[in-house]
Amino acid sequence: MSYAEYFASRRDEQLNELNEWLKIPSISALSEHKKDILTAAQWLADTLNKAGLEHIEIHPTGGHPVVYADYLHAPGKPTLLLYGHYDVQPVDPLNLWTTPPFEPNIRDGKLYARGATDDKGQVFMHIKAIEAILSQEGSLPVNLKVCIEGEEEIGSVHLTSFLEKHKDMLAADAVLVSDTSLLERGRPAICTGLRGLCSLEVDVMTASTDLHSGTYGGAVPNALHALVSLLASLHDDKGRVAVDGFYEGVPELSPLMREEFAKQGLDEDKIREGLELSALYGEEGYTFVERVGARPTLELNGVYGGFQGEGTKTVIPKVAHAKITCRLVGDQNPQHVLDAIEAHLKSHIQPGAKVEVRQMEKAFALDIDPSNPFLQLAADAYGKVYGTRALFTKDGGSIPIMESFSRILKAPIVLMGFGLDDENLHAPDEHFNLENFDKGLLTIVEFLKSAGTV
C-alpha cells in the first residue's frame, strides 16, 4: 500500500482523533485554563505512545509542562528533534466565530477550530507521519526526538532553561518545526528567517479616583487623553517607529535582498482586496514582503480604559492601559528595544499623568542558512508532493524559542510550514486547509525517509 493509500484510508479516523485534541481549550495565557493545558499534554503523550514512540515523559517546568518522546533505533543515522506546541491563543472576541472555537467544524475543505493550524494540526501531522512509517516499514530511517511545549503563545517562558538543562537529552543534527506557512495555496516555502519579539504592558494613571466630567472636565488630566497622545507619539507620519534607538541593529536592505523578496511575486492588490482594505499601511519606502520579512514593527495589540458599556458615562478615567508587541530583525537587541520604548514613554508622558511599564517577552531574530543539506532535502520533499520545490523565504512571525534552539543545540532549524497566511491565526475563525493536511502528511514522510541519507 502506498503512503497516499495508507492516509486516504485513515483520513476520517485521523481527523476525528485530531478533533479530540482541538476540543481541549489549552489557552496558555489564561490561568483558568491550567487544567486544560494538562489535559492537552496528557492527550499528546498518549498519542505519541500509540504512534510507537518511547521514553514518553511529561516534564514539569515552572509553568506549563513539556512533552518529550523519542525513537533511537537508527544507529549511525542522523537525529532529528521535532519541536511544536500544544498551547493555543485566547479566543475573544467570541461572538465573531462562525462556529465555537473548541467545537471543530469542517466547511469547504477547511477545519475550523482554535489551534487547527497553530499549531496542534501541524504537530498532529508529524505524529501521524511517524506512525505511518513505523506501521508500514517497522522502523524509522532516522533517530527522532520529540519536544512539544505548552507556552509558545506566551513566549516560551520556561523552555530556554529546559533546553539548557536537558541539552544532552535533546541533542540533534537538525530541529524540525511546522509552525509557518506556504507562500500561498500550492506554493510551499521553507522559512529561513524569523523576526524577534519583545512585548510590554503600559499603564497610565492620573487622579486618585475617576472624576465627573462636569465638575472637573477641562481642568484635570484624563488618563485616556494622556495614553492616546503617548501611543500616537510612537510612530511618525511616515509609518516609522519614532522611538530613539529603535532601529539600532536593523540591517539595510541590499539590492540583492530586494531582488529575492521581489521573486516571491506577491500581489499587493490581491492581499489588500482579500483583507477588504482600501489601502495597505506601513513604513514608507518598503514593499509588503519587505515590511513583513525585513523590517521591525511596533504594534498596539490592546488599548483600554474608561467606560465600555452601553450608552454614555461622563467619566474622566483615572487609569488606562495598553499592550504592545514589537517584531525585531537583524541584530536588534530585544532588551535595548524595550528600554528605548520605556524611556520614550516616560519622557513623552503628559504633565499630571504617570506611566508605568512592565517589560515582558524578549527574543532575538533568527537567520538560517538555506544551503544546509536538511533544508535542501526538505525543499525536495515538498517538490515531490506539491509538484513545485519549496522557496526559501523570510517570515514576519516569531517563534521566539527558535533562537534558543539554534544557540543551545547548535543545530540548523528546518521550518517546514503547512499553514496559509489567511487562516486567521490568533483571530476568530482560525482554520486549517485540509489540502495541506493531506499533502503535509506525505511531505513529512518523504522528508524523514530522505533525511536518513544525510
Q: Considering only residues 47-106, where is the footprint of a copy of itself by CB under 8 A? A: 89-90, 92, 96
**213 counts as binding a copy of itself under rule CB under 8 A:** yes
Of 313, 312, 264, the C-alpha closest to 287 is 264
Identify the sign of the CA torsion 26, 30, 33, 38.
Answer: positive
**214 counts as binding a copy of itself under rule CB under 8 A:** yes
User: Which set of grid coordinates corresponds to residue 1?
Assistant: 500500500
Residues 312-371 contacting a copy of itself, CB under 8 A? 312-317, 320-321, 323, 325, 327, 350-354, 360-361
> CA 142 to CA 449: how far, in whole Å?
8
**256 counts as binding a copy of itself under rule CB under 8 A:** no
**297 counts as binding a copy of itself under rule CB under 8 A:** yes
Rank residues 421 and 446 by Cβ distance to a copy of itself and give the closer one.
Answer: 421
**402 counts as binding a copy of itself under rule CB under 8 A:** no
* Backbone φ and ψ of 319, nearest 5°: -150, 145
| Planar angle of CA 147, 188, 183, nearest 5 degrees | 100
Across the beta sheet with 110-112, the strand order is 105-107, 110-112, 431-433
| Element holding 269 (H helix, E strand) | helix 268-274
Among the residue ranges 141-149, 243-251, 280-288, 406-414, the one whose residues contact a copy of itself (CB under 8 A): 280-288
Binding residue (CB under 8 A) for a copy of itself from 283, 356, 367, 435: 283
Among the residue ranges 56-64, 124-132, 219-227, 366-374, the one whose residues contact a copy of itself (CB under 8 A): 219-227
Binding residue (CB under 8 A) for a copy of itself from 23, 64, 114, 195: 195
**383 counts as binding a copy of itself under rule CB under 8 A:** no
Confirm if 156 and 401 have CB atoms less than 8 A apart. yes
Going through 93-232 in order, the beta strands assigned E by DSSP cover 105-107, 110-112, 143-149, 174-177, 189-194, 196-205, 211-212
| Element holding 375 (H helix, E strand) | helix 373-386
Among the residue ranges 9-17, 223-231, 249-257, 364-372, the one whose residues contact a copy of itself (CB under 8 A): 223-231
Per DSSP, the three-state class of 128 is: helix
Rank residues 28 and 47 by Cβ distance to a copy of itself and give the closer one.
Answer: 28
Among the residue ranges 12-20, 404-412, 425-433, 440-448, the one whose residues contact a copy of itself (CB under 8 A): 425-433
**452 counts as binding a copy of itself under rule CB under 8 A:** no
Q: What is the dihedral of CA 190, 258, 269, 434, to 10 degrees?
A: 0
Among the residue ranges 14-22, 49-57, 200-208, 252-260, the one whose residues contact a copy of itself (CB under 8 A): 200-208
Minimum Å gap between C-beta 42 and a copy of itself is 23
Confirm if 155 and 403 have CB atoms less than 8 A apart. no
Among the residue ranges 132-140, 193-201, 250-258, 405-413, the one whose residues contact a copy of itself (CB under 8 A): 193-201
> CA 321 to CA 303: how far, in whole Å?
6
Binding residue (CB under 8 A) for a copy of itself from 65, 150, 155, 330: 155
Confirm if 159 and 61 have CB atoms less than 8 A apart. yes
